Amino acid sequence: MKFADRLDLFSDEVFASLNQKRLALEAQGRTIYNLSVGTPDFEPYEHVVSALREAALDPAMWKYSLRDLPELKQAVCDYYARRFGVEGITPDMVASCNGTQEGVGHLGLALLNPGDTVLVPDPCYPVFEAGAKIAGAKLEYYPLNAERDFLPYVAGIDPEVADRAKYMIVSLPANPVGSVGNDALYDEIIAFAREHDLLIVHDNAYSDIVFDGPAGGTFLAHPGALEVGVEFFSLSKSFNVTGARIGFIVGRPDVVAAFAKLRSQIDFGMFFPIQKAAIAALEGPLDEVEAQRLKYQERRDALCDGLEALGWERPNAHGSMFVWVRLPGGRCDSMAFCEELMEKAGVIVTPGASFGPHGEGYVRMALVLPPAGLRDAVAAIAAAGIRG
């Protein structure tokens, strides 16, 4: 059977390859420190679990949902006001999705025609590219590099490319590079969108994991953002519910409606007990979220301090649950280094090249072990003699 040509657009998934090698090393009895996948090791909060459990006992909750509950949409609106200080978000500006991975992946099908242009960061989370490719769009990259603190630099984007672009994806705090935006940057991005008549699609999965400064926020809090953009907002990392796949698109009503129309053709809506769990998270206390942020910061410090002590360049790690690490000792092949690190030290990380051309020369490490575990991983790296 001949399969769809679009499958040729995608390479084999790097995590699957790394996982096979991990299993082989574990079979040899090796101690493994897996810092490759960003799945939180913290537990979901009890009030969220209780809401799901209670809803699941009701047989009516097991039917097709076909819609977002009105109270769920209102809870998102109220959360944006309570958590981010953004007034004016209304239910027609909100639609659910099964996590932002699926949301970004499907958005292109609602907005793009074959041949349209999309601006994506490089390095970037792979679904930013995949969603555009599935829709038959042309990718144009804007670099995130150390010289500009791994932040978008819109003045460096070719104006002709920007004029062709249908939308631009921005991700802050950024996976994989760990950079965090600021007011001036968002103002520049909004002005850029207006100048070139393009939509901004902001990925805000890590708003509650920001270090060394003000609390994380939202793109939609900035003047003009609601006229030029939408935001994918996730509960996965803040509330440790990654497997429940709870995400939302929030912002311009016409874009939200187009996304919801597409989604109505390919699924029957979010499982009602999960909607009830989402409401509990959005309406509940946030003290545990803040305590968890501080724990992530402790992990960041343990890992970055340890690597710097080995002579590595201090990683870029201002937000998200990842640190972006330049290869030590003059190495330049990120996949080869991942294999070396795994074989010699038992530490599994993700090659930077899997996030785009500008990712080569780096690896991504996830903060998914407690500080003691991260210090043990650094000790294993030191014992293997992998120094800067």
As given in the structure block, the two tokens for residue 376 are 């043990």
Does residue 349 sit within a domain?
A: yes
135 with 202, same domain?
yes
117 with 171, same domain?
yes
Q: What's 350-385 look like in SS3?
A: EEHHHHCHHHCCEEEEECCCCHHHHHHHHHHHHHCC
Question: What's the average model confidence in pLDDT over 228-252?
Answer: 97
Residue with the bigger pLDDT between 7 and 61: it is 61
Please state, in angstroms and rounded to a whole number, the distance separating the CA atoms of residues 152 and 144: 6
pLDDT for the residue 8? 78
Residue type, 53: R
Q: What proportion of the chain, given as a percentage, has pLDDT over 90?
A: 89
**Helix residue spans in 243-356 (DSSP H):** 253-266, 272-283, 287-309, 334-345
20 with 57, same domain?
no
303 with 324, same domain?
yes
363 with 299, same domain?
yes
148 with 71, same domain?
yes
Residues 6 or more apart whose Cβ sits within 8 Å of residue 335? 351, 353, 354
Average pLDDT value over all residues in the chain: 95
Question: What's the average model confidence in pLDDT over 348-369?
Answer: 96
Among 343, 341, 352, which residue's Cα sits nearest to residue 378? Answer: 341
pLDDT for the residue 18? 75
Domain extent, residue 262, equals: 46-283
Question: What's the average model confidence in pLDDT over 142-165?
Answer: 97
Q: What is the number of other CB atoms lying within 10 angstroms of the CB of residue 278?
A: 28
Does residue 388 sit within a domain?
A: no
Please state, in angstroms and rounded to a whole number, the distance separating the CA atoms of residues 278 and 273: 9
Domain containing residue 163: CATH number: 3.40.640.10
Does residue 266 sit within a domain?
A: yes
39 with 184, same domain?
no
196 with 316, same domain?
no
Question: What's the average model confidence in pLDDT over 258-264?
Answer: 96
Question: What's the average model confidence in pLDDT over 340-365?
Answer: 95
Q: What is the pLDDT of residues 280-334, one digit of tens each?
A: 999 999 999 999 999 999 999 999 999 999 999 999 999 999 999 999 999 999 9
pLDDT for the residue 25? 81
Domain boundary among 236, 252, 283: 283
As given in the structure block, the two tokens for residue 340 are 């070396």
Domain boundary among 283, 318, 343: 283
pLDDT for the residue 21? 80
Q: Does the structure show a pLDDT above 80 at 162?
A: yes
226 with 367, same domain?
no
Q: What is the pLDDT of residues 180-222, one digit of tens each?
A: 999 999 999 999 999 999 999 999 999 999 999 778 899 999 9
**Helix residue spans in the chain (DSSP H):** 14-27, 46-56, 70-84, 99-111, 126-134, 159-164, 183-196, 225-228, 236-239, 253-266, 272-283, 287-309, 334-345, 371-383
Does residue 255 sit within a domain?
A: yes
271 with 310, same domain?
no
Q: What is the pLDDT of residues 51-74, one digit of tens each?
A: 999 999 999 999 999 999 999 999
Number of folded domains that form the chain: 2
Does residue 122 sit within a domain?
A: yes
Domain boundary among 251, 283, 315: 283
Q: What is the pLDDT of residues 20-40, one digit of tens each?
A: 787 888 888 889 999 998 889
131 with 200, same domain?
yes
Domain containing residue 369: CATH number: 3.90.1150.10
22 with 51, same domain?
no
Confidence of residue 12 (pLDDT cuts 50, 70, 90): low
pLDDT for the residue 13? 64
